[in-house]
Structure 1
Amino acid sequence: MHKLTPRQQIILEAIKLFVAKHHYSPTVREIGDIVGSTSSITVAGYLERLKKKGLVTWEEGRPRSLKIIVKEPA
Protein backbone atom coordinates (compact mmCIF):
# COMPACT_ATOMS: atom_id res chain seq x y z
CA MET A 1 0.00 0.00 0.00
CA HIS A 2 1.14 3.53 -0.69
CA LYS A 3 2.07 5.62 2.33
CA LEU A 4 0.04 8.82 2.22
CA THR A 5 0.60 12.00 4.14
CA PRO A 6 -2.35 13.20 6.22
CA ARG A 7 -3.04 15.95 3.65
CA GLN A 8 -2.97 13.46 0.76
CA GLN A 9 -5.45 11.28 2.64
CA ILE A 10 -7.74 14.28 3.16
CA ILE A 11 -7.62 15.20 -0.52
CA LEU A 12 -8.25 11.63 -1.67
CA GLU A 13 -11.21 11.36 0.71
CA ALA A 14 -12.56 14.73 -0.49
CA ILE A 15 -12.49 13.45 -4.07
CA LYS A 16 -14.30 10.24 -3.08
CA LEU A 17 -17.00 12.13 -1.18
CA PHE A 18 -17.50 14.67 -3.98
CA VAL A 19 -17.90 11.95 -6.62
CA ALA A 20 -20.29 9.98 -4.38
CA LYS A 21 -22.46 13.07 -3.92
CA HIS A 22 -22.36 14.61 -7.42
CA HIS A 23 -21.60 11.60 -9.68
CA TYR A 24 -18.83 13.52 -11.48
CA SER A 25 -15.32 14.50 -10.50
CA PRO A 26 -14.39 17.79 -8.82
CA THR A 27 -12.25 20.53 -10.29
CA VAL A 28 -8.97 21.50 -8.64
CA ARG A 29 -10.65 24.62 -7.26
CA GLU A 30 -13.56 22.60 -5.82
CA ILE A 31 -11.11 20.25 -4.09
CA GLY A 32 -9.36 23.31 -2.64
CA ASP A 33 -12.67 24.67 -1.37
CA ILE A 34 -13.47 21.35 0.32
CA VAL A 35 -10.11 21.00 2.05
CA GLY A 36 -9.69 24.69 2.88
CA SER A 37 -6.88 25.53 0.47
CA THR A 38 -7.03 28.80 -1.44
CA SER A 39 -4.16 27.79 -3.73
CA SER A 40 -5.03 25.77 -6.82
CA ILE A 41 -1.31 25.23 -7.40
CA THR A 42 -0.96 23.56 -4.00
CA VAL A 43 -3.92 21.27 -4.68
CA ALA A 44 -2.54 20.45 -8.15
CA GLY A 45 0.76 19.49 -6.52
CA TYR A 46 -1.00 17.07 -4.19
CA LEU A 47 -2.88 15.60 -7.15
CA GLU A 48 0.39 15.12 -9.06
CA ARG A 49 1.86 13.22 -6.11
CA LEU A 50 -1.27 11.06 -5.85
CA LYS A 51 -0.96 10.37 -9.58
CA LYS A 52 2.70 9.35 -9.19
CA LYS A 53 1.62 6.93 -6.46
CA GLY A 54 -0.88 5.41 -8.91
CA LEU A 55 -3.95 6.44 -6.91
CA VAL A 56 -5.57 8.92 -9.31
CA THR A 57 -5.44 9.73 -13.01
CA TRP A 58 -6.94 12.26 -15.40
CA GLU A 59 -6.90 13.27 -19.05
CA GLU A 60 -4.71 16.32 -19.59
CA GLY A 61 -6.72 19.34 -20.69
CA ARG A 62 -10.06 17.65 -20.10
CA PRO A 63 -12.13 19.13 -17.26
CA ARG A 64 -13.65 16.83 -14.66
CA SER A 65 -11.72 13.79 -15.89
CA LEU A 66 -10.12 13.07 -12.49
CA LYS A 67 -10.56 9.41 -11.51
CA ILE A 68 -9.56 7.42 -8.48
CA ILE A 69 -7.78 4.21 -9.43
CA VAL A 70 -9.18 1.30 -7.47
CA LYS A 71 -6.56 -1.30 -6.67
CA GLU A 72 -7.80 -4.86 -6.38
CA PRO A 73 -6.43 -6.77 -3.39
CA ALA A 74 -3.77 -9.32 -4.33
Structure 2
Amino acid sequence: MIKTGTTFSDLKEKYGDFEDWISKGLGRPGHEIKVVNAELDPLPEPDQIQGAIISGSHAYVTDNLDWCLRLEKWTKRIKSFR
Protein backbone atom coordinates (compact mmCIF):
# COMPACT_ATOMS: atom_id res chain seq x y z
CA MET A 1 0.00 0.00 0.00
CA ILE A 2 1.33 3.40 -0.92
CA LYS A 3 0.51 5.86 1.86
CA THR A 4 0.17 9.39 0.54
CA GLY A 5 -0.64 11.20 3.73
CA THR A 6 -2.16 11.03 7.19
CA THR A 7 -5.72 11.84 8.07
CA PHE A 8 -6.80 14.47 10.58
CA SER A 9 -5.68 13.69 14.14
CA ASP A 10 -9.22 13.47 15.58
CA LEU A 11 -10.23 10.92 12.92
CA LYS A 12 -6.98 9.01 13.35
CA GLU A 13 -7.52 8.70 17.09
CA LYS A 14 -11.05 7.39 16.63
CA TYR A 15 -10.77 5.26 13.46
CA GLY A 16 -7.09 4.82 12.68
CA ASP A 17 -5.29 6.15 9.62
CA PHE A 18 -5.86 5.66 5.89
CA GLU A 19 -4.09 2.30 5.79
CA ASP A 20 -6.30 1.01 8.62
CA TRP A 21 -9.45 1.98 6.74
CA ILE A 22 -8.25 0.33 3.55
CA SER A 23 -7.15 -2.82 5.36
CA LYS A 24 -10.56 -3.07 7.01
CA GLY A 25 -12.32 -2.44 3.68
CA LEU A 26 -10.33 -5.26 2.11
CA GLY A 27 -11.54 -7.57 4.86
CA ARG A 28 -8.02 -7.89 6.22
CA PRO A 29 -7.96 -5.93 9.49
CA GLY A 30 -4.94 -6.87 11.53
CA HIS A 31 -3.27 -8.71 8.64
CA GLU A 32 0.12 -7.59 7.47
CA ILE A 33 0.03 -5.26 4.51
CA LYS A 34 3.29 -3.60 3.57
CA VAL A 35 2.87 0.16 3.81
CA VAL A 36 5.28 2.45 1.94
CA ASN A 37 5.15 6.14 2.77
CA ALA A 38 5.25 7.98 -0.58
CA GLU A 39 6.62 11.10 1.10
CA LEU A 40 9.52 9.38 2.86
CA ASP A 41 10.23 5.89 1.50
CA PRO A 42 11.58 4.67 -1.83
CA LEU A 43 8.84 3.19 -3.98
CA PRO A 44 9.18 -0.52 -4.77
CA GLU A 45 10.26 -1.74 -8.18
CA PRO A 46 7.28 -2.94 -10.25
CA ASP A 47 8.67 -6.49 -10.52
CA GLN A 48 8.88 -6.71 -6.71
CA ILE A 49 5.14 -6.30 -6.06
CA GLN A 50 1.96 -8.16 -6.93
CA GLY A 51 -0.26 -5.11 -6.79
CA ALA A 52 -0.59 -1.68 -5.26
CA ILE A 53 -3.22 0.36 -3.48
CA ILE A 54 -2.67 4.09 -3.18
CA SER A 55 -4.25 5.69 -0.12
CA GLY A 56 -6.04 8.97 0.06
CA SER A 57 -4.40 12.25 0.89
CA HIS A 58 -5.32 15.76 1.93
CA ALA A 59 -2.86 17.11 -0.64
CA TYR A 60 -4.03 18.37 -4.01
CA VAL A 61 -2.50 16.92 -7.14
CA THR A 62 -2.28 20.50 -8.45
CA ASP A 63 0.15 21.31 -5.60
CA ASN A 64 2.83 19.48 -7.64
CA LEU A 65 4.58 18.20 -4.51
CA ASP A 66 7.81 16.30 -5.14
CA TRP A 67 6.50 13.02 -3.70
CA CYS A 68 3.30 13.30 -5.76
CA LEU A 69 5.20 13.85 -9.01
CA ARG A 70 7.47 10.90 -8.17
CA LEU A 71 4.40 8.75 -7.48
CA GLU A 72 2.85 9.78 -10.79
CA LYS A 73 5.95 8.60 -12.67
CA TRP A 74 5.96 5.38 -10.64
CA THR A 75 2.34 4.58 -11.51
CA LYS A 76 3.19 4.92 -15.20
CA ARG A 77 5.99 2.38 -14.69
CA ILE A 78 3.54 0.02 -12.99
CA LYS A 79 1.10 0.39 -15.87
CA SER A 80 3.75 -0.38 -18.48
CA PHE A 81 5.24 -3.32 -16.54
CA ARG A 82 3.91 -6.64 -17.80
Q: TM-score, normalised by structure 2?
A: 0.28
Which structure features the higher share of helix residues?
Answer: 1
